[in-house]
Amino acid sequence: MYLAKSIKTLLSLVFMALTALFFYSNELYASAEVDDLVNKNLSKLEINNYEWTNKSMNSQPMFDVIEIQNNSSIGFKDLVLEVQVYSSSGTLYTFPVYLQGKVIPPGKLVRLENITTPSILPFNVAKTRIGIKRAQFSYENNRDFNPTKNIIIENFDYIIDSSASKTVQLNLLEYKNISENYYNNVEFKIIFLDSKNNPVGETVYLNNNPISPGEKVSVENFVIGSSFANNSSKINIKINDADLISSKAYNELGGINQVSQPQADDFNKIPIILSDLNIKNYKWISNASNTLGILNVEILNESYFDYSNVVFEVYFMNSNGSTINKRRAKSKNDIFFAKSIQDAQVSVGLMDFKFSSIEMAIISGDSSLDKEKLIKDSFDKKIEQKANTDVSSKSNRNSSESEPSGALQELNSTEIIENIIIVNSTYTSSRASIKVLNLADYEIFDLILEISTTNGNTILFPIKKLKPRSEKTFYGIKLNELDIKDGQKISFKIIKANKFIKN
């Protein structure tokens, strides 16, 4: 019985927290918060107002107007709204509203009129909540972030094969990010032209390598199949799109330029109170009828921020679990320190009505970064990582002692060519990444990758192991010793590899 009640309470709390996060009603404004990856703040889209045209049973829902306020510094487009409607008995029905092509500029209030959806209402609507479910970044009002302006193509070399294969082989594609932004999934539009420079067709090529500010990327030897190659004599190529990402995402996606840790951590340092503070427990200190209600609340702060002026929302429930009253209370004098658990006393007003239970949620607060805890934790993590590395090394030594006996046998040049494929390579003047495919049914050990320039400079890069019939990408290969000049090509070749032969 107690477990069932606890589960019910937990589910109610989750629902209330989600409601506080995403939905607007006549009594409460709530917003969907979107991380602004560029300005490192929280962008806010908010349903400011709405008016029904039709909300009758067995008919299409129609809105006369929906007003959306964009309080962020960036624009959004192609919004998807989620509408929650309730019958007079409390039955819930949800449906989406797709606002394709609609742009919400930064700092603007947009009024959308005569909105109809293909859904059918199963009852007469008694209560409505509307939230913003998804939104796409819009470059229309954010030209500083537009990848078609910020990524330029510096060089490309190609061969059109109009025979049976109908392909375009791009021997070299070099492009550069001239902005201060980070991008991923760079999309190229390849336009096929006839002998009179008239377009005869186009196709799209996607490169999922991330690119950092000022970074130059070179992609070599890849093939694009297209039926348009049969009627074209040349091609043109341009940037079509790219995804805007953070420096942290750039690192996690395997970017080949190192981004300093403080910069990469900036996106973990955004104060988001709804995820940073958690209510662990609460109990009444005083809730007698017609007296001041006081709660003791236990708060867990898992972030590197100290929070003050925290605002709680308290939901008073009847025996059926329905909300009969709702009050907000501010913890004015308490500071919830970073990385701590502490109690606070919260006054919720005069207890002049009857209720069976309550639920609580945190809805806002002021934050400040606790730099000392951040530095200490960063140091502790380095110590922990070193300890884990030492344990791992010891474990590897122990496991190697129990491996079956045998010896490594070097592959001949034919075996290397047939079994080890360099799928693609990307490089700048200082670093490279390379994807290698093992076609063999056995593991390959102690590979040597030779990287050389056209003027004869060479470096060797060791690869410890490739699993059978799998591919692996190696990032951050340093090329400084090659002294690569601007526009100079480099080549990659596996010159040595071994397989394990059991005794």
pLDDT-based confidence at residue 380 (cuts at 50, 70, 90) = low
CATH fold for the domain made of 406-502:
Immunoglobulin-like (2.60.40)
- Residue 273: its pLDDT value, please? 54
What Cα–Cα distance (Å) separates residue 428 from each residue in 38, 78, 490?
24, 36, 10
Q: Do the domains spanning 21-141 and 146-266 agree at the CATH topology level?
A: yes
Which tens digit of pLDDT belongs to each residue from 122-147? 999 999 988 777 777 776 656 667 88
Paired with 472 in beta bridges are: 436
- From CA 4, how far away is CA 361, in angstroms rounded? 21
Asked if 482 contacts 451 with a C-beta cutoff of 8 angstroms, the reply is yes
Which residue type occupies 227?
S
Which tens digit of pLDDT belongs to each residue from 382-432? 445 555 545 445 445 444 444 556 788 999 988 898 888 887 787 777 778
CATH of domain 272-395: 2.60.40
Which tens digit of pLDDT belongs to each residue from 228-247? 666 777 888 999 888 877 77
Where helices occur in 352-479 by DSSP H, the ranges are 371-401, 413-419
Question: Which has more pLDDT, 478 or 4?
Answer: 478
- Residue 34: its pLDDT value, please? 28
According to DSSP, residue 144 is labeled: G
| Nearest partner of 329 among 346, 353, 309, judged by Cα | 346
E strands within 259-339? 277-286, 292-301, 305-317, 323-336
**Looking at the predicted structure, is the pLDDT value of residue 151 above 90?**
yes
**Looking at the predicted structure, is the pLDDT value of residue 43 above 50?**
no
Which tens digit of pLDDT belongs to each residue from 313-355? 888 888 877 778 888 888 876 788 777 888 888 898 888 888 9
- From CA 19, how far away is CA 206, in angstroms rounded? 38
- From CA 439, how far away is CA 483, in angstroms rounded? 33
Mean per-residue pLDDT, 45-68: 91
Asked if 226 contacts 204 with a C-beta cutoff of 8 angstroms, the reply is no
Instruction: Report the number of secondary-structure helices (H) and strands (E) in the chain.
Output: 7, 26
Q: Are strands 277-286 and 292-301 parallel, antiparallel or unpaired?
A: antiparallel
Which residue type occupies 16?
M
**Looking at the predicted structure, is the pLDDT value of residue 175 above 80?**
yes
Q: What is the pTM of this model?
A: 0.39
Mean pLDDT of the chain: 75
Instruction: Domain ranges for the chain, please list them.
Output: 21-141, 146-266, 272-395, 406-502
Share of the chain above pLDDT 90, in %: 12
CATH of domain 146-266: 2.60.40
A 10 A CB-CB count for 143 gives 10
- From CA 85, how far away is CA 344, in angstroms rounded? 36
| CA–centroid distance for 178 within its chain | 23
Question: Which has more pLDDT, 257 or 420?
Answer: 420
CATH of domain 21-141: 2.60.40
- Residue 14: its pLDDT value, please? 42
Asked if 448 contacts 460 with a C-beta cutoff of 8 angstroms, the reply is yes
Q: Which residue do the tokens 């032209």 mark? A: 193
What Cα–Cα distance (Å) separates residue 84 from each residue in 16, 28, 128, 463?
14, 14, 6, 55
Asked if 349 contacts 293 with a C-beta cutoff of 8 angstroms, the reply is yes
- Residue 275: its pLDDT value, please? 59
Q: Could you tell me which residues come within 8 angstroms of residue 269 by beta carbon, excluding any fewer than 6 positions away? A: 40, 304, 369, 374
Q: Which two tokens stand for residue 100?
A: 């394709």
